[in-house]
């Protein structure tokens, strides 16, 4: 999977979203950079004052002024820390909310291309983004601004110092851009190797029986070793780029220090520079080139930040369903369903549909059998997939024209057990304002009343994401109860009835097929005893449509 935008483009988008706070940080940084000159300028004035044998009073005034300026500079630095902290929180909340929305609105067909549980591990890179961005904004930004202001001061001292500035900038640019041209690619490769290792551990945890035999364990350990080797190789490749830049920066550090001392000493001897100016220049350059000793770590943070932005892009680029369209008509009655000439080409993920047509009056119950292993027909009716040709109309409205999010407030599809970490009641309500009586009634309708009554906390029992302490079949019934309590106008069940406990199946069928039920029902099934209870039945075999009526005509 490739991100639709480069890491630098995506970083620019994030910067644009937070431009106000980043602008504030730059203003504070400029203030700190200017005030950082207070010490070298004060030292220059102090040396000149002592050299001319001045009185104690100017020294006292100079000291007090320096104290005030440094105090103000440190106050700006404290404000920078506060702004960066607020920025970190906002970035986390923004990316967390955006990712959550995109996972909910992901195009359903995308599940065939991505392993979403593993893909969501990329969200942890938001922490890396927070930490590295704070370092960039506080340390690197401050260093760059101080260096620029310091070089401007040197340029005013002497033309040779201006030449020194140009030499420093050119060599530094070569280190950053010339030697670091492969830095981003190697950082992303290292990040990919890291997530492959995490995905492998996730697979081992999801399949605990794989490694129980010694032969299987040997194979799995060999795979583990190979993944670890790939990660180490990626790290070595990235470190080669970083170490080259770091060593070059340290060489520049030594050259700049030595060159300035030699040039400055010669200019003082030839009366082109005062002793105070030389000391001030040494302090300014010392602050400038001190950052070179930490350049390796700064570059590592920069590459990590871009790699984390790249990984977050995998989540932000997930294909989305349409979120617009005509509002469904408000009808307080079961829906009519009209399927006309529906065609869907066969694939490894989908069943073929060939010229399928049928109509359902409000409240009718339809069983669909054969050719349903992948739920293609229900996917199309629920708006999860688009047919190659044909159309689906609900209450006379073309499904393609409707707002799917609004439509699904009155249409429910149950396929697998879907449980989140929370109480049993929360899993039934899903945020709806429903009382405990309604929750218990819904649970009773799917035969869970007795099971829930013996749980220590009844409907307030906490469920794990895997549904524990309920069994998988009970979780499937709980998911069905969630759909029933919403009283949908169209209810779609994909092989749900075939998997229910035979002891509770009559109870569930009685609820689903009740004459006063508020829904039109379409259920896929392979069991003849279940199909026989429906009013209507269609078969989809060998790309041909056929139908008969269990009660009445088709």
Helix or strand holding residue 492 (H, E): strand 490-494
* CATH number assigned to the domain comprising residue 509: 3.40.50.300
CA gap 215, 204 in Å, rounded: 15
CA gap 520, 506 in Å, rounded: 19
What is residue 492's predicted lDDT score, i.e. its pLDDT?
95
What is residue 546's predicted lDDT score, i.e. its pLDDT?
47
Residues 65 and 143 in one domain: yes
* Residue 489: inside a domain: yes
Q: Are 318 and 102 in contact (CB under 8 A)?
A: yes
* Residue 101: inside a domain: yes
Residues 371 and 486 in one domain: yes
Q: What are phi and psi of 493, to 5 degrees?
A: -120, 120
Instruction: Tell which of 285, 316, 347 closes a domain.
Output: 316
Residues 353 and 456 in one domain: yes
* Residue 2: inside a domain: no
SS3 536: strand
Residues 300 and 366 in one domain: no
Nearest to 106 by CA among 312, 382, 317, 311: 317
Instruction: Tell which of 284, 316, 348 closes a domain.
Output: 316
* Residue 479: inside a domain: yes
Measured in whole angstroms, the distance separating CA 317 from the mean position of its chain's CA atoms is: 9
Residue 261's CB is within 10 A of a number of other CB atoms, namely 14
* Residue 171: inside a domain: yes
Residues 310 and 342 in one domain: no
CA gap 246, 294 in Å, rounded: 8
* Residue 329: inside a domain: no
CA gap 73, 80 in Å, rounded: 11
Residues 292 and 430 in one domain: no
SS3 272: coil
What is residue 362's predicted lDDT score, i.e. its pLDDT?
92
Residues 376 and 311 in one domain: no
* Residue 216: inside a domain: yes
DSSP string, 301-317: HHHHHHHHHHHHHHHHT
What is residue 51's predicted lDDT score, i.e. its pLDDT?
59
Q: Look at the chain and report how many structural domains it folds into.
A: 2
Residues 308 and 456 in one domain: no
Q: Are 409 and 417 in contact (CB under 8 A)?
A: no
Residues 297 and 364 in one domain: no
416: CB partners within 8 A, 6+ apart: 476, 479
* Residue 323: inside a domain: no
For the question of whether the overall pTM of this predicted structure is more than 0.85, the answer is no
Residues 294 and 412 in one domain: no
CA gap 94, 549 in Å, rounded: 54
Question: Where do the H-state alpha helices sit in 36-140?
Answer: 38-51, 56-104, 116-119, 125-135
Residues 500 and 393 in one domain: yes
SS3 11: helix
Cα separations (Å) of 52 from 42, 271, 279?
15, 16, 16
Structure tokens at 54: 């001045």
Residues 149 and 115 in one domain: yes
CA gap 90, 163 in Å, rounded: 43
Q: Which domain holds residue 399?
A: 337-549
Q: What is the mean pLDDT of each run of 10 residues along the chain (554 residues)?
A: 72 82 80 71 66 64 79 84 88 90 83 80 88 80 72 77 84 87 89 90 86 86 93 93 88 83 80 72 70 75 88 85 79 88 67 78 88 71 85 89 88 92 91 89 92 89 89 94 93 93 93 92 91 86 51 38
What is residue 383's predicted lDDT score, i.e. its pLDDT?
87
């Amino acid at each position: 999977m490739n991100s639709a935008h480069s890491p630098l483009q995506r970083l620019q988008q994030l910067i644009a979203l937070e431009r106000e706070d980043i602008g504030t940080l730059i203003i504070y940084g400029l203030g700190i950079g200017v005030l950082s000159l207070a010490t070298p300028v004060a030292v220059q004035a102090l040396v000149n004052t002592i050299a001319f044998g001045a009185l104690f009073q100017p020294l006292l005034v100079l000291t007090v002024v320096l104290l005030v300026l440094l105090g103000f500079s440190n106050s700006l630095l404290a404000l920078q820390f506060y702004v960066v902290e607020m920025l970190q929180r906002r970035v986390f909340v923004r990316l967390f909310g955006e990712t959550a929305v995109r996972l909910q609105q992901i195009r359903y067909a995308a599940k065939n291309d991505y392993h979403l549980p593993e893909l969501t591990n990329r969200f942890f890179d938001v922490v890396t983004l927070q930490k590295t961005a704070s370092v960039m904004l506080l340390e690197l930004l401050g260093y760059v601004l101080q260096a620029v202001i310091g070089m401007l001061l040197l340029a005013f001292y002497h033309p040779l110092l201006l030449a020194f500035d140009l030499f420093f900038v050119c060599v530094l640019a070569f280190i950053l851009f010339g030697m670091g041209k492969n830095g981003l690619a190697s950082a992303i490769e290292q990040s990919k190797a890291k997530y492959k290792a995490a995905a492998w551990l996730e697979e081992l945890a999801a399949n605990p029986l794989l490694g129980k035999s010694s032969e299987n364990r040997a194979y799995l350990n060999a795979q583990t070793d190979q993944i670890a080797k790939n990660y180490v190789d990626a790290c070595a490749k990235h470190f080669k780029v970083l170490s080259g830049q770091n060593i070059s920066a340290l060489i520049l550090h030594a050259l700049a220090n030595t060159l300035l001392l030699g040039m400055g000493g010669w200019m003082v001897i030839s009366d082109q520079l005062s002793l105070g100016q030389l000391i001030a220049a040494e302090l300014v350059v010392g602050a400038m080139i001190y950052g070179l000793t930490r350049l390796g770590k700064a570059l590592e943070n920069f590459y990590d930040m871009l790699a984390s932005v790249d990984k977050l892009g995998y989540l932000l680029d997930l294909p989305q369903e349409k979120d617009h369209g005509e509002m469904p008509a408000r009808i307080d009655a079961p829906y009519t369903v009209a399927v006309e000439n529906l065609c869907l080409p066969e694939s490894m993920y989908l069943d073929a549909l060939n010229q399928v047509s049928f109509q359902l009056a409000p409240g009718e119950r339809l069983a669909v059998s054969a050719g349903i292993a992948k739920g293609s027909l229900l996917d199309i009716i629920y708006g999860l997939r688009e047919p190659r040709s044909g159309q689906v109309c609900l209450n006379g409205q073309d499904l393609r024209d409707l707002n799917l999010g609004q439509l699904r407030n009155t249409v429910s599809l149950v396929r697998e057990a879907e449980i989140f970490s929370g109480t049993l009641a929360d899993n039934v309500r899903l945020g709806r304002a429903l009382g405990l009586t309604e929750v218990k009634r819904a649970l009773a309708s799917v035969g869970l009343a007795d099971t829930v009554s013996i749980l220590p906390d009844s409907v307030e029992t906490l469920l794990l994401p895997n549904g524990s302490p309920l069994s998988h079949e009970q979780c499937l019934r709980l998911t069905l109860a969630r759909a029933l309590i919403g009283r949908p106008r169209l209810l779609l069940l994909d092989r749900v009835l075939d998997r229910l406990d035979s002891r509770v199946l009559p109870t569930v069928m009685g609820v689903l097929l009740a004459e006063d039920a508020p829904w039109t029902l379409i259920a896929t099934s392979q069991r003849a005893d279940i199909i026989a209870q429906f009013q209507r039945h269609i078969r989809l075999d060998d790309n041909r449509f056929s139908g008969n009526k269990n009660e009445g005509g088709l």
